Amino acid sequence: MSKHKLLAALTALALGLAACGSNGAKTSVKQGYPGQGSPGQAGATTSTTGAAPGVQSASGNGNTLSATSNGSGSSGGGVYAGNGNTSGGPPASIGTPSGFRYTPASLFSGPANTQGITSSTITLCMHAATVFGNVFNERPQDIGVYWNWLNANGGVIGRKVNLTIEDDAYTPQGAQQAAQQCEALNPFFVIGGIGFDQDPVVRQIAEQDHFIYIYTMADQGTGKYNYSFTGSPTIQQDGTWNAQALIDNHYPGPYGAVYVNDAAWLGGWTTFKSYMDAHGGSSVDKNAYTTNSGGDTSGFQAYITQLKLAGVKTVYLWMNALAADAFVEQAANQGYYPAYVTPDGFNLVTQTVGQNIDDKSPAIKPAMGVWITPAFDPNNHNVAWWPQEKAMLDAYAQYDSGHTPDDIDWMAWLAFQQITDLLNTCGTTCNKNDIAGIFHSGWQDTRYPLCPVDFRNNPNFGGVSANLFVATREGNQTVWRQPVSCASKF
């Protein structure tokens, strides 16, 4: 397997909570709106110890990265008296500085309600595919620079955050083991790295074992989840958006698809197909082929031959980024350059096969991607969210100067900002019933440059919009450009 293709697995490190709300300054949500100010800079340096809060890879050498506070205060949120009610009587409605009110859940009692949180620390655990990290100089401490910066700036209302990352090997089986390892650490809650295959597994474990789980995009599942929450849309919604983007942007037919025939993935195909059938794209039905997993490439050569013979001009790739790269590369080797629509809005795709899919390539039209975090391109200072990108780059220059930040770091940075916003909303006396109650009570808010979330209609799924990417040649490289931001229809 090539170095470029292995990098796909690193996308599993990227995202814990893709788009949760902030109780900081409000901004309107549209393309080009100004963002919040850049975070302040801390003067502390990064050190490796085994005691202070920071980022730890439990699967690696056990070092914990920490930062010493300079007393500059925390980012976002305000300090207020939270619930504090751990026993006796029904919980009362709690108000927050932003005006949002929530009723604490009744899921935990006694010490379990405050496990993982003290007056000075918050312990979190995340599952992600760290097994691939060393190959690309993408270590857990690179992913977790945000927490070093935050801890040096006062933490979360004075609390320092200690994050441990457990390796999920980018597989369902690995995710199960990583979840069990996280449970053994008694964290305040568990964060899910991106993975359609992994997150539903841990979600089920969270419901069975009763721990709070905050994750990213996955199948909508069945029923109501008491312990599991995401600010991302479901894969069913993402499938519809991919079809809308294809039709509304006049991508030519006949249409085809290669999709993963697995319960954790099928929802994104069935909604895509349903929309296409209803909007004149039924050719996708007879030109659709399946794979056995998100990274299965075994049938690609034959599928490409059949798609080419059928005259298919636009192909929906519903698979992980590793497989999508393999498909595009194989198609180009066979002289086939269709347009592509994909959920894989990662720089891995543009940097690996970009010149076969961008606006200067032989492709009929440039590839489109629908994704939940804004496009990362540190060379493009003209985007509205450049101040946020620069703030992240400045933090990495201070705390991780030997590492070149990429879109994986960008996704993690934004996701961890949202974790911070959630904790700030919860307040000074935050406990697990408060966290669950915030979601159950219909949290709605915006953290720029992520898209707004709204849990009023569904207490488990708050994602209501996403971004549209187009593969664009920039000098001698291909990048994602974002013509549409935070849309609920494409």
Instruction: Please list the pLDDT of the chain residue by residue as tens digits (490 residues).
Output: 343 433 333 333 333 333 333 222 222 222 222 222 222 222 222 222 223 346 665 543 332 333 322 222 222 333 333 444 444 556 778 888 778 899 999 999 999 999 999 999 999 999 998 876 665 566 778 888 999 999 999 999 999 999 999 999 888 999 999 999 999 999 999 999 878 999 999 999 999 999 999 999 999 998 789 999 999 999 999 999 999 999 999 999 999 999 999 999 999 999 999 999 999 999 999 999 999 987 889 999 999 999 999 999 999 999 988 899 999 999 999 999 999 999 999 998 999 999 999 999 999 999 999 999 999 999 999 999 999 999 999 999 999 998 999 998 999 999 999 999 999 999 999 999 999 999 999 998 788 999 998 999 999 999 999 999 999 999 999 999 999 999 999 8
Prediction pTM value:
0.83
Torsion angle in degrees (nearest 10) through CA of 357, 362, 365, 371: 0
φ, ψ dihedrals at 46, nearest 5°: -85, 140
Answer whether the bond into residue 483 is a cis peptide, omega within 30°.
Answer: no
Q: How far is Cα 345 from Cα 279, in angstroms, rounded to an integer?
A: 24
Q: What is the DSSP letter of 54?
A: E
Q: How would you label 311-325 residue by residue, b for 16+ Cβ within 10 Å and e otherwise?
A: ebbbbbbbbbbbbbb
Q: What is the DSSP string of 192-206?
A: EPS-TTTHHHHHHHH
Q: Which two tokens stand for residue 345?
A: 């809005």
Q: What pLDDT is stored for residue 7 in this prediction?
A: 38
Number of H helices, E strands in the chain: 14, 19
Residue 320 Cα distances to 1, 106, 141, 263, 445, angstroms: 15, 38, 25, 15, 29
Please report the domains of the chain, with CATH numbers, ordered by start residue: 3-233+383-459 (3.40.50.2300), 235-371+469-487 (3.40.50.2300)
Given a contact cutoff of 8 angstroms between Cβ atoms, the answer to whether 44 and 152 are in contact is yes
Give pLDDT, residue 58: 54
Q: CB–CB of 350/343 below 8 Å?
A: no
Per-residue CA distances from 61 to 109, 141, 206, 350, 353 (Å): 35, 11, 27, 33, 34
Q: Is 109 exposed, middle or buried (0-12, 13-18, 19+ CB in 10 A)?
A: exposed
Rounded to an integer, what distance in angstroms lies between the CA atom of residue 432 and that of residue 109? 9
Question: For residue 445, what are its two tokens?
Answer: 């808010």
